[in-house]
Structure 1
Amino acid sequence: MHKNIFRISFFIVVLIFWSGTLQAQVKICSWNLQNFGKSKSAAEIQFVANTLKEFDVVALQEIVAGYGGAQAVAKLADELNRTGTNWDYIVSDPTVSTPYGTERYAYLWKTSSIKRVKRAWLEDNYVQEIDREPYLLDFNYNGELFTLVSFHAIPKKRQPETEIKYFKFFPEFYAEKNLIFLGDFNIPQSHTVFNPLKKMGYESVFKDQKTTMKMKCVAGECLASEYDNIFYDTKNSGLQASGVVHFYRNFPDMKAARRISDHIPVWAEFYFGEEKDN
């Protein structure tokens, strides 16, 4: 009798835990891939695919604007499809920037769980104020909609806060959308330019997490600056888990690792809608 009660209780606990793990687990990754284009070899693209295959949606920055950038993303999607899961992708037009600053963005996603909604677009409302205008795309996960805003800011020496300050207008302009800002901001989340978003209920996934790679590791420290991050609206999204990928540990030295990128991937797992309210 007692054994049966124990078995039933254990089964209920396991069922509850298992049901909980099935709640909206959208795993989103952002990665600045540093001049991703024709200079990347087939082996390097395969390495990138193996690094990204566990995520549901991937936002990439710094895709080469000229010949080779879009083709490299297509090759990456092909490699991801070889991992046993179907992926789709989209590449932006070149950003409206200075000739040496223009680049493309890209999104890749697993088609089994994520659906693209309509067309992606480069945000042109602040095209004169923002050098590399953000790239937006609406996604549907189990009927829940969310919008990624991928961004690569100008370098720190050019004061990226002069661009990022315009993000405070996005939540009102896109009031019907669940916005998630992600990318390479070239300043840490502690900068006051993010305060307006934070006052609206947005939070950064990472705090005090360095994401750019040094030329050489010094005393075991291989990362330099806290630049890459993800900002989400706590009213519409719940954070399930997060992390970074120290991919450089797979290489003999930082010089070899930096052939892939000088940034590490950052990721977050979100849940939406009713599941967030429960």
Structure 2
Amino acid sequence: MRLVLSFLCFVVAVSFSFAQQFSVISWNIANLGKSKSETTLEKIADIIAPADIICLQEVVAGYGGAQAVAKIVAHLNRKNNVWDYSISDPTLSSTPHTRERYAYIWKRNKIKIKRKFELESIYKNQIEREPYIGSFTIKNSEFKIFSFHAVPKKSTPEKEIKYFKEYSRLYGDQLIFLGDFNVTNTNSVFNPIYKQGFKDAFPNQKTTLKQNCVNNNCLANAYDHVFYPTSKLKVIKAEAIPFYTDFNDLKQARKVSDHLPLYVLFQIL
């Protein structure tokens, strides 16, 4: 009898542990819009399908961006889950050329939505492409995700990233900052959020594709990150998905994206 009870306790503990886990993919898909073929959109859906929440950056602001996201979701819905999605308004960028949208896609049976998604407005005049805030509820825990695409390296993304230290003060500590920051996580601009208890799930992980592989080295820069609160979440698995290995050369892979998707499985503490 004692053995049976021990086994049942183990099963309950394992079941509870899995129930308190959720997975996220963050992916800057270059120019996600009408330039992507139907085959490419289906490939993207295949890659992101394992996650519970998908966060996409660089969705084209003009015609074609929202339509491409909808087609990806249609491909996902032909698989084993039912998905929902939200697309941001175009960012309030200084020029039409730099305006973009963000998108969130999530599994409806795992993730609940209680709040309206919005572009972060407090620092809209300081940040070229203001982050898109999504509030996701997993069981009884709500996390806000800030999906972000910084200005290019030559335009000094540090001048935007420095405002991220204010977000935990304004929104609480159950936050995840992710996206393409265009600087490495060793940059001192991240020190304030490290001091607040955040950690990058991908330390020193290169995430952008070169134009050509050199001696089997195909990755260029460690610019994409997933910062999470260590007091609220534990990383069970973190993987930069090497989707480019499915292609004969990087030219073909870059038609999908010039960035790797970042997959993280979290345990809620």
- Range into which the TM-score falls when normalised by the shorter chain: over 0.9
RMSD between aligned residues = 1.8
1:189 paired to 2:185: yes
Amino acid in the other structure paired with 1:236: K
User: What is the distance in 1 between the residues matched to 2:162 and 2:240?
Assistant: 26
Amino acid at match of 2:66: A
Q: Is residue 91 from structure 1 mapped to residue 87 from structure 2 by the alignment? A: yes
Q: Residue deviations 1:195-252, cap 9 Å, x none? A: 0000011111111100000011100111000001100111222222211110000011
Mapped pair 1:225 → 2:252: no
Q: Which runs of 4+ in 1 moved over 2 A?
A: 7-21
**Percent same amino acid at aligned positions?**
44
Matched-pair contact (CA < 8 Å) for 2:53–2:107: yes
Counterparts of 1:9 and 1:250 in 2: how far apart (Å)? 47
CA distance in 1, matches of 2:170, 2:244: 39
1-side partners of 2:248 and 2:96: how far apart? 35
TM-superposition CA deviations, 1:72-122 (whole Å, max 9, x none): 000111000011210000100000112111000000000001011221110
Residues 1:116 and 2:118 are matched in the alignment: no
Cα offset, 1:13, TM superposition: 9.1
Q: What is the 5 A alignment of 1:30-69?
A: 30-69=26-65
Cα shift readout 1:140-195 (whole Å, capped 9, x = no counterpart): 111210010000000011110010000011010112x5110000000011100000
| Residues 85/23 of structure 1: CA separation in 2 closer, same or farther (3 Å cut) | closer
Is the 1:23–1:271 contact (alpha carbons within 8 Å) kept by the matching residues of 2?
A: no
Q: How far has the Cα of 1:14 moved from its partner?
A: 6.5
Aligned 1:168-207 pairs, distance under 5 A: 168-175=165-172, 178-207=174-203
Distance 1:31 1:245 in 2: 10
Bigger-Rg structure (1/2): 1
Partner of 2:259: 263
Separation in structure 1 between the aligned mates of residue 22 and residue 145 of structure 2, nearest angstrom: 12
Question: Contact between 2:206 and 2:223, CA under 8 Å: does it hold in 1?
Answer: yes
Q: Structure 2: how far apart are the matches of 1:60 and 1:149?
A: 11
Residue of structure 1 in register with 2:233 after alignment: 237
Distance 1:21 1:220, change over 3 A: farther
Deviation at 1:10, TM superposition (A): 9.4
Match of 2:156 in 1: 159
Contact 1:89 1:107 in 2 (8 A): yes
Shift of 1:21: 5.0
Cα-to-partner distance string for 1:47-83 (whole Å, 9 max, x where unaligned) = 0000011000000000000000001000111000011
Shift of the alpha carbon at 1:24? 1.5
Match of 1:19 among 12, 15, 18: 15
For 2:113, the aligned partner's letter is R
Structure 1 residues 10 and 237, CA, compared in 2 at 3 Å: closer, same or farther? closer
1:262, CA displacement in angstroms? Answer: 0.2
2:198 and 2:204 mapped to 1: Cα distance?
Answer: 17
Looking at structure 2, the residues matched to 268 and 39 of structure 1 have their Cα atoms a distance apart, in angstroms, of 28
